[in-house]
Amino acid sequence: MSQHKRILVTGGAGFLGSHLCERLVDQGHDVICVDNFFTSQKTNVTHLLDRANFELIRHDITHPLYLEVDEVYNLACPAAPGHYQYNPIKTMKTSVMGSINLLGMAKRCRAKILQASTSEVYGDPEVHPQPESYRGSENTLGPRACYDEGKRAAETLFMDYHRANGVNVRIVRIFNTYGPRMHPFDGRVVSNFIRQALDGVDITVFGDGSQTRSFCYRDDLVEGIIRMMNGPDEFVGPVNIGNPGEFTILELAQKVIAMTGSKSKVVHKPLPADDPTQRQPDITLAREKLGWAPEVKLDEGLAKTIEWFKSVDFADFRAPTPNY
């Protein structure tokens, strides 16, 4: 029996989605990339268009989608605060209505389906590091709730389709990820700091910079979610996929300045509402169930990311929203 599968990747032209598509195409699978190009770049997948086993469709998953597939990776949703807060109702619709549409398709096709959830479901955590058993400390009324609560609702939908309809689901909770093909104007700290450092302008740090994040290189992340999709059916998750190495935002800024040789200075601005003070995954479950752990150290990953940022012209990128 052929091991080649028909695989749908929603959000497939995004930063992570494009690398996932690339991996799956190289493995010989028939890959359908679906994206509405709100925050993604068509150039992320241009190099795949002449591959016979790759197909690109412009579509918004808040509308029904009718395809015949064996597996679905659902990565579709704006993930940077400036972007998901730009149209918060649409963000919630993407997580909720998009999940319903894709789960319905998976049910009909008897397809396996993976939800790219997020560490944001933990809110501003009171437990550190965060294990999957931690239920979170989330403000349902705040400006980040459209994303955080949308992803939590998506997890609920996935589990209900699994229990009620026997849909073969997987849930991964992705922590901060970085690497080549990040949108220079996505508003994330890594892309912001590198772009500002290369432009020689002040690097913006919100608050005093003591808040922490854990940064996972994109290759490690993609490997983790593929392992989860191919893992045992009895393990549906959720499972944390991220790098447990913890750094303060100020440490990251100083590291980027040093590695780019920039003359940029750090300037501080007020901390946004509900910005988590700590973020670090407990990856015990991923180690035990998937045999997965990140391998790329921050300095190595940053060096590759900086080189990519140097290779592109920022003028070729349009900021998806005014909030970056």
User: Looking at the annotation, which residues are catalytic?
Assistant: 147
Q: Identify any residues that bridge with 114 across adjacent strands, giving them in sequence order.
A: 73, 170
Phi, psi (degrees; rounded to nearest 5) at 146: -60, -35
d(Cα 155, Cα 131) in Å, to the nearest integer?
Answer: 16
> Buried b vs exposed e over 170-192: b needs ≥16 C-beta within 10 Å?
bbbbbbbbbbbbbbbbbbbbbbb
Computed over its alpha carbons, how large is the radius of gyration of the chain?
19
d(Cα 322, Cα 315) in Å, to the nearest integer?
Answer: 15
Q: Is the dihedral of CA 174, 180, 181, 187 positive or negative?
A: positive
d(Cα 91, Cα 146) in Å, to the nearest integer?
Answer: 6
Token pair in block for residue 257: 């300045």
d(Cα 182, Cα 301) in Å, to the nearest integer?
Answer: 13
User: 10: closest CA among 107, 90, 147, 116?
Assistant: 116
- φ/ψ region of 37 (left if φ > 0, alpha if ψ in -120 to 50, else beta) reads left
Residue with tokens 């028939």: 30
Query: In this structure, are residues 271 and 81 in contact, taking their beta carbons and an 8 Å threshold?
Result: no
DSSP 31: E
Cα within 13 Å of Cα(71), Cβ side: 22
Cβ neighbour number for residue 149 with a 10 Å cutoff: 22
Token pair in block for residue 100: 């319903």
